[in-house]
Amino acid sequence: MSRLKHIGIVAVSSPGAALCYQTICTEGEKFLGEQYAHPEVSMHTFSFSNYMTRIERGDWDGVAELLLASAKKLAHIGADFVICPDNTAHIAFGKVVEKSPIPWLHIAEEVAKEAKRLGFRKLAILGTRFLMESEVYPSKLRLYRIWWAVPEAKERKLVNEIIFSELVYGIIKPESREKLAGIVKDMAQREGCDAVILGCTELPLILDGENSPIPVLDSIRIIARAALKKATE
């Protein structure tokens, strides 16, 4: 067997990083055919507050500096490539990848590939307001000729509030789940969306295939599985 590639995880917030790491470790045996087996994994993160200070003031150069610093640390200890299980941070992706010492996988591109494979035609995008109002997903979905839609302004505000006032702290409220599911249902009916992108680290904590009105594309698990595929090629 050829050497497995060493996966580096550039973490931003803890829930997504933890879920990404867990997915790589628990699903590795599906790729390797050996119980409990998975590639080598290393993770680095700066304080989440360092990221949020920069994100809230629109300092994407500052976000890129943090991401790049993590990538350099991971490269130094042997990582062959890196992933970032944080969708919003990908707004700064272009500023990072050109200076990175090792390759990156792009979370939105991996989600777009999976959506294409599954035959979805129009996707609802849920995430932070920064993510929903960015080109992170549209720029990749266009390449695969997949349509998309984002919630209306008041709905974007609600989704953002649930993420930052509840989910980042691990607080799961049934009423918030109902509100999010209602937004997804409305987008399916109003926009014709046939699947929803969980484009935020914390959204899989509250929405999944069991309670969403339409199929979900869990970006965190998708990027983790893409990393496993690359590491075991």
Residues in the chain, how many? 233
Residue 201: pLDDT band with limits 50, 70, 90:
confident
| Phi, psi of 140, rounded to the nearest 5 degrees | -95, -35
Co-location of 11 and 61 in the same domain: yes
Q: Is position 1 within any domain?
A: no
Answer whether residue 213 is part of any domain. yes
Task: Say whether both 90 and 115 belong to one domain.
Answer: no
> Are both 79 and 171 inside the same structural domain?
no
Phi and psi at residue 9, to the nearest 5°: -110, 115
Residue 57's CATH number: 3.40.50.1860
- Write out the two tokens for 22: 């867990």
For the stretch 65-87, pLDDT in tens is 999 999 999 999 999 999 999 99
Give dist(CA 157, CA 128) in Å, integer: 9
Percentage of the chain exceeding pLDDT 90:
94
Number of structural domains (the chain) is 2
The string of DSSP codes covering the chain is: -PPPPPEEEEESSHHHHHHHHHHHHHHHHHHHSSTT----EEEEE--HHHHHHHHHTT-HHHHHHHHHHHHHHHHHTT-SEEE---SGGGGGHHHHHTT-SS-B--HHHHHHHHHHHHT--EEEEES-HHHHTSSTTHHHHGGGT-EEE---HHHHHHHHHHHHHTGGGT---HHHHHHHHHHHHHHHHHH--SEEEE-STTGGGT--TTT-SS-EEEHHHHHHHHHHHHHT-
Domain match, 144 and 161 both: yes
Q: Are 158 and 179 in contact (CB under 8 A)?
A: yes
92: nearest Cα among 58, 124, 128: 58
Predicted confidence at residue 2, as pLDDT, reads 58
Mean predicted confidence (pLDDT) in 195-200: 97
Whether 35 is in a domain gets the answer yes
Rounded to 10 deg, the angle between the 60-76 and 48-56 helix axes is 150
Provide the pLDDT for residue 1: 44
Residues 75 and 166 in one domain: no
Average pLDDT over every residue of 48-71: 97
Torsion sign, CA atoms 146, 147, 151, 153:
positive
Q: Does residue 28 fall inside a structural domain? A: yes
In a shared domain, residues 65 and 98: yes
- Note the pLDDT of residue 108: 98
Question: Is residue 2, in this structure, part of any structural domain at all?
Answer: no
- Whole-model pTM: value is 0.95
Instruction: Tell me if 211 is assigned to some domain.
Output: yes
For residue 130, give its domain range: 107-219
Query: Is there a domain that residue 62 lies in?
Result: yes
Residues 12 and 95 in one domain: yes
